[in-house]
Each structure stands twice: as C-alpha cells, then as structure tokens.
Amino acid sequence: MSSARRCSKTACGRPAVMTLTYVYADQTAVVGPLAIHAEPHAYDLCEFHSERLSAPRGWEVLRLAADPSMAGPSTDDLLALADAVREAARPIAPPEPVHPRLADGGMRETARRGHLRALSSD
C-alpha cells in the first residue's frame, strides 16, 4: 500500500490534493491546500471531489487557493535544518562539577547512584 494520502470519498482511490474542514460556528466549509498531516476531523479530497463539493443549505463554501510559492521547503526550513545539523555535530563538553568544593580539590566523589553522589573530604 502506498504511503500517499488518498481521497476520503468512498471508493475513490485518487491522490488527495485538498483538505476539507468544517467550521460549525460559522456554518462554513473550508476547502484549502492539503494539510501537512492527516487530521481526524478533516477530510482529504482529490481534485475532482474538491471542485464538486457542495455544502448544506445555509452554509458557505470557502475555497482557499494553494500558494505555489509554498510548494517546497522555505529558506527558513532549510536554515533551521542546517542549524540542527551543526548543533548535532558539535562535540559534547565535559560536565562541570556540581559542588564548588569538588573543583578546588577539597572533596572528592567516592560513589554515585543516579543523580545522588557520595562525597568525602581529604
């Protein structure tokens, strides 16, 4: 089975290109570009069914056109990805001692269990 999203209409196997959501408070059916993730209260529709959609009497159908500039990743997405890769590639700094007396040699750690430490003085 393909991982591409299909039209929500029964017996339609075409790929989804638009998403339908209902705004019950405003009695509006909104047909817009395909949502990034499948939502439980939204319906994915193919081009044929999105064009032929009708709403109940008294409801308004609001059709949002797809923005062609939003088809691919934006420069912000690419910069965020590059920053994440740079951050992951940085070496991990050694942890600093928690207790100030550990740093100057006044105490030493003798045992450790989870986040607890046993310290002894010299």
Confidence at 122, pLDDT banded by 50, 70, 90: low
Range of the domain at 41: 1-88
What's residue 31's pLDDT? 93
pLDDT single digits (tens) 74-92: 677 778 888 888 888 888 7
**Of residues 74 and 1, more confidently modeled:** 74
Give the contacts of 41 (CB within 8 A, at least 6 positions apart).
21, 22
Most confident of 54-58, 75-79, 98-102: 54-58
For the chain, the domain total comes to 1
Assigned domain for 4 exists: yes
Assigned domain for 103 exists: no
Instruction: For residue 40, give the nearest of 24, 61, 26, 19 by alpha carbon.
Output: 19
Assigned domain for 119 exists: no
What's residue 103's pLDDT? 55
Assigned domain for 116 exists: no
Is residue 15 within 8 A of residue 46, CB to CB? The reply is yes
pLDDT single digits (tens) 3-54: 588 999 999 989 999 999 999 989 999 999 988 888 888 999 999 999 999 8
Cα–Cα distance measured from residue 113 to residue 110, given in angstroms and rounded to the nearest whole number: 11
